[in-house]
Every structure is written in C-alpha cells, then in structure tokens.
Amino acid sequence: MPQAANSIAKTTATRREWIICPNCEKPYQIGAGVLGRAGRQVRCKSCDSIWFEPPIDAQRVERGDNPVLGADFPQRMKAYLNGLPASVKRSSPKSTHVIKTFLIREGVGNGAVGYANGIKVDLQRFRNVEFLWDVVAKIESRSHPGEDHDLTFVAESENQVQIEKILEDANKLPIVRADARLMFFRANDSTQRNYFFERLRGLFERHRKTEPGDIYFMVGMEMQTLTYAVRKLTIPHQGSNAPPIEEF
C-alpha cells in the first residue's frame, strides 16, 4: 500500500530530502532513509497520484559524484520512469519535466554552475517543428575556458525518425566532452523503438565530437504499453573490449 508523501515527511530522520509529485509538482520533504534501499511507492495527498520513488544515495550525494556515470543509474532511472502515473507518461511536457526533476534531485557532482537552455531545431515537414534540448546542468572546463564538460541534458523527440539534424546541432554546443546525454522519445511499438535505438547508435558514433569512452543513455517509451526501455551506449576507447550497448 503506497504511503502518503506528506505522512512520510513526518518520519524522524537526521537528513531531509525533497521529492516532487510528477503529476501536480507538489513538493514534499522526507527523511533521507524512509525510501529504504530499494525505494517505494508514494502517494500525493494533493492529486492522489501514485508513483515509485527510488532510494536516495546519501554517500553519493556527499561525495558529489555525477550520478549518471554510476553503474546503477540506468536501473534507478528505469524504475522511476516505469513507476510514473499513466497520465504523466502520456504527456510529453510532463515526461520531460519529471526526467529533469529526477536528475536535479540526484545531483550533478561538484562544480556544477547551474542550468541553461540548449538549442532549438526547426523541422518544417513535421507537425512538431520545434525540439528543445534542455541543459540540466553544466560544469565549466578549466583547460578550455568558455567551454563546458560533464554536460547532462535531455531531448524530447515525438515519433521522430529523422533526428540527424537534432544530433548535428547538439554537437555544435561549446563542449569539450559530454559525459552523458539523455534522449527520450516515444515509439508506437517495440519494433519502431528498436529502430530508433539503432539509428541513434549510428548517429552518435558518426556525429560525436566528444572523447571516446563517453556514455549516452537513450530512453525510449513504447506508446501501446506506456513502458520505458533503457539502453546504455558506450563509445569505447580504441582497443577496449567494453560492450557498446547494454540493456536494462
């Protein structure tokens, strides 16, 4: 039985954390340990939405690590996405917003300088002509003033198979390297979703200007089942035997 989010907030704990309802965006402050090691379902007292809230890694927060580079991040993100209310999954703006909220809560490591808008791509032949890349956080490069590294951002693509322009423009951003990029899109079925993944893999490998070894998380959702799939694409160093794609 999901526990009401505001009742969780009454639990006694030394450290407090914020969680946000993915549907109505009502914030709740909770004890850092009440989600446990596996996370749990919670319920918003304002809109009655139920969602899965993953555990908060206190040690990672204290270290200031970039969570996207952690080995357990894909599983954590997949559990969060698939535990969202159906009304949120069906809404592109809400889906984009909750992913960014999740990343902000997880933290971006030491040296983050804040949040900024990315780029807009205009594709005239499609109904959704504007695609906005939202930079979640950026860390300035000491060796290349004016450029950024450890850049994490989210892109929304709605049933879009011609995404070359999006990636080309994304790679024009003034970055030395991008440790992680998150693109999530909506596919009508699993066949279309797999097609998107394969195209993304080839495009990232051809258009990247980043260093080998960078990691990209690609998140796709099958519209019929409202189920998210997560794959991690690693562009390996030369001679590396690391698998380029992992399924989660």
189 is written with which tokens? 């079925």
Contact 131, 120 (CB under 8 A): yes
The pTM assigned to this predicted structure is: 0.81
Adjacency order of strands within the sheet including 227-234: 116-122, 130-140, 148-158, 180-187, 215-222, 227-234, 245-247
For 5-45, the pLDDT digits (tens) are 655 544 444 567 788 999 999 999 888 778 888 889 999 99
- Rounded to whole angstroms, how far apart are CA atoms 89 and 81? 8
Least confident of 78-87, 184-193, 221-230: 184-193
| pLDDT score of 202 more than 50 | yes
Alpha carbons within 13 angstroms on the beta-carbon side of residue 15 total 10
Average confidence (pLDDT) over 151-177: 69
Q: How confident is the model at residue 1 (pLDDT cuts 50, 70, 90)?
A: low
